[in-house]
Structure 1
C-alpha cells in the first residue's frame, strides 16, 4: 500500500514536470508563429548548437536579405543568431559558417565588442569598426556599425553594418584634391606677387625714359625740320604718349586686384566728382550727365567707384554719335520681387547712353583686356577701361552686364550685393 502511494506521488510529480515542459514548448511555438524568434540555441554537453528558423514574417526576412548593408542579430554575449547575404559578401565567408560564431571574431580589434555593448547603456549606438575579411582582394574594411537593443520585445541585439570603403576613398581623394588646390593657390599667389613686382618695374623704370623722350621731343624746334622730318617727329611723339598712356592703364588695371577698405559711399557724390574731373571732355562734347531719382548708399571702395563711373561715363562720351550730343542717364532700378516677403539680394544701378551702340555678337568681348571693336584712328583708347570696370565689380562681389543696339545706345547694369 505504501509503495503504491509512493508511485502515485512520483507519477504526479512527473506529470507536473511534463506540464511545465509543454507550457514552455507552447510558448516557443507561439513565439515562432509570431516571428519573434530567429534561431534556437540548444546546449549539448556545454557546446551551443544553433538552429535557424524561417519565421512566418517572410516579407520582413526578404527585405533584410535585399539590404545593401550587412544585417545581423546577436545575443548579448555576441553569438551571431542570424546574418544576411550582404554581410557574408563583406566578410567573404558563407553565412552558414558565420551563424553560431561570435561577432568579435570579425573585428580587427576583438575587445571593441565589449565597449560597443557597454555604450548601449549610455544611448551610444553608432560606431566605426574595422572588420577583418577572408576575401582575396582586401584583408579588412572600415564600417559604420549601428547597434539596436531589441529587448523587451526580443532577447537579442540588432546590428547593421555599412561598408565605408568607398566613402573613405572619396574623403581621401577630396583631401588630396584640397592639398593640390592649396598648392595651386600658393603658386598663384607667387605669380601675383611677381606680377605686382613687374608692374612696379613698368610704372617706374619704363615711364622715366618715356617721360624724357616726350620732354626732349617737345624741345625740338620743328621750324628747322623738313616737312617729312616734322611728320616723323610728330609720329614719334604721339607713339610715346600712347605708350605712356598704355603703361598708366596697365598699372591702373593691376592695382584693382587689391581688396581695399569698404565704407558707405554716396554714388551721387562720386558722379559729381567724376564730372568735375572730366569737365573739359564733357564741355568739349557738350555732354549731359543726368542722375534720375535718388541713388542709394553702397558699401564699397571710393577710389574704385570713382574709377568705375569715370570709365563708364568717358566710354559713353567717347562712343557718342557725331551729330547728336551725348546724353548719359544714371538711375537705380527697383528689384522685381515676386512677393513682399522676399528681400532683394542686389542693388541695381543703370548707366544708359544714346551713343553708337554695338552689335550683339560684340557684347561678350568688350570686358576683355586689350579688346577693341574699332580702329585706333576712329576712337582713342587701349581697350582696358571696361576690363577695369569688370575687375572692380568682381572685387565688390558684384556683376556688370551690358545691353546694346547699333545706333540706339548702350546700357550698363551694375549689380552690387546687399551686405
Structure 2
C-alpha cells in the first residue's frame, strides 16, 4: 500500500514537471509567433547552442507595420497574405478582413491586375493604379511597386504609395500655370496696346502740338492787346510743356524693354553726358567731380539716360547763388540700407550740394508724375526719377536717396556684380 502511494506521488510530481515544461514550450511558441524571439539557446548534453530562427524578423515586421506606405505580400494569383496598418487605413478595413481577399478587389478596375503581373515578368515593376475604399466608395490614385520574392519566398511584395496629395499639388500647379499663361497673354495684349498708344502719342499727338507752336509764333503781336498777348504766351508755354510731357512719356515707356548689355566704362559714359549738358553746366557754373568708377555690363542708352537725369536733377535743384557741385564715385566697403545688397553689389554715389528735401518726401520722388515743387518754381514733369528707377530695375539693381533740407541730396545706385 505504501509503495502504491509513493508511486502516485511520484507520478503526480512528474505530471506537474511536464505541465511546467509544456507551459514553457507554449510560451516560446507564442513568442515565436508574435515575433518576440529572434533565437533560441538549447542545452544539449550540458553544452548551450544558439539557434537562429528563420522566421525571426520582428524588427523587420515592426518596420513594415509602421511604414508610411501601404505594404502587402500576395500570391501570384493576387491573394493577400499580409497587409500593414497603413494599407488598412487606405482601404478602410481592418487587416484581418483584408487578408484572404484578392488585391484586385480593391482596384477601381480589376482588369489591371493581369497586366501588372504580366509586366512583372519583363522587369516592369511600377504602375499607377486607382484604388477604391470600402466604406465611402471613394477612389484614390496610388503608385504600386511590385517585387518578386522568389525563390526565397513564394510570393510578391507590394508597396502602395498614396498619390492623392501629389495629384492635388499637380492639379494646383497646372491651374496656376494655366492662370499664369492667361495673365501673360493679357500682359502681351496690354503691351501691344501700349505700343500702339505710344505710337499715337509720339506721332499723331506731336504733330498738332508742333502746328500750335508754329502758328502761335506767326501771329503778329502788334495787333494784340496786352491781355491777348499774355493769353497767347500761356497757350504757347502750355503747348511746349505738353510736348515735353509727350517726349518724357515715350522715354519712360521705352525703358521698360530689356536692351542688349555690353561692357561700359562709366567714366566714359558720364563724360559723354557732360558734353551733351555743356550749355546748362556752363550756364549754372556747375562743377562735376568724377572719382573712381567701374566697368559695368549694361545698356549704354539707358546708362546715358540715367546719369543725364541725375545730373540734370542736381543742377536744377541747386541753391540760389551757390554753384552746383556734383560728385560721382564708386563707394567701397559700404553697408547698404537695402538688406543683402553689400558684397554682391557695386555702389555708385551721386552727391550734390543743392536744396535737398524733407525726409517725408524721400519715398515719393521715384513715383511717376510726382512733383515736390510748383510748376512755376522748377520745370519738369515728374518723370525723370521714375525713369531712373525703371532703368535700375531693368539692370536688376536699386536706387535709393538720402537727403536733408538745405543740405544737399545723395543718390545711391546698386548694380549687381556679374
- Please state which band the TM-score falls in when normalised by the shorter chain: 0.7 to 0.9
Is 2:316 the counterpart of 1:308? no
Q: What's the CA shift string for 1:337-360, capped at 9, x where partnerless?
A: 9xxxxx953322221222222223
CA drift at 1:201: 0.9
Aligned to 1:319, which of 312, 317, 326?
317
Please list, as runs of the form range in 1=range in 2, the aligned pairs for 1:18-417 lying within 5 A after superposition. Answer: 32=33, 57=58, 64-65=64-65, 67-75=67-75, 78-107=78-107, 108=109, 109-114=112-117, 117-118=120-121, 126-138=126-138, 140-147=139-146, 158-293=157-292, 295-334=293-332, 344-417=343-416
Note if contact 1:71-1:160 (Cα within 8 Å) is conserved in structure 2: yes
CA drift at 1:64: 4.9
CA drift at 1:78: 4.4
What TM-score do you get using the length of structure 2 for normalisation? Answer: 0.78
SS at structure 1 position matched to 2:101: coil
Q: Structure 1: where are the runs of 5+ without partners? A: 1-24, 38-53, 338-342
Seen in structure 2, the aligned counterparts of structure 1 residues 185 and 103 have a Cα distance that, compared at 3 Å, is: same
Note if contact 2:116-2:127 (Cα within 8 Å) is conserved in structure 1: no
Note if contact 2:83-2:99 (Cα within 8 Å) is conserved in structure 1: yes
SS at structure 1 position matched to 2:113: coil
How far apart are the structure 1 equivalents of 2:66 and 2:282?
A: 82
Q: What's the CA shift string for 1:7-64, capped at 9, x where partnerless?
A: xxxxxxxxxxxxxxxxxx9x98896475699xxxxxxxxxxxxxxxx9894x876665
Q: What's the CA shift string for 1:391-418, capped at 9, x where partnerless?
A: 1122222222222222222222222223
Q: Structure 2: where are the runs of 5+ without partners? A: 1-25, 39-54, 336-341
- In the comparison of the two structures, how many residue pairs are matched? 368
Note if contact 1:349-1:415 (Cα within 8 Å) is conserved in structure 2: yes
How far apart are the structure 2 equivalents of 1:127 and 1:35?
A: 35
What TM-score do you get using the length of structure 1 for normalisation? Answer: 0.78
SS at structure 2 position matched to 1:369: coil
Note if contact 1:335-1:347 (Cα within 8 Å) is conserved in structure 2: no
CA drift at 1:112: 4.2
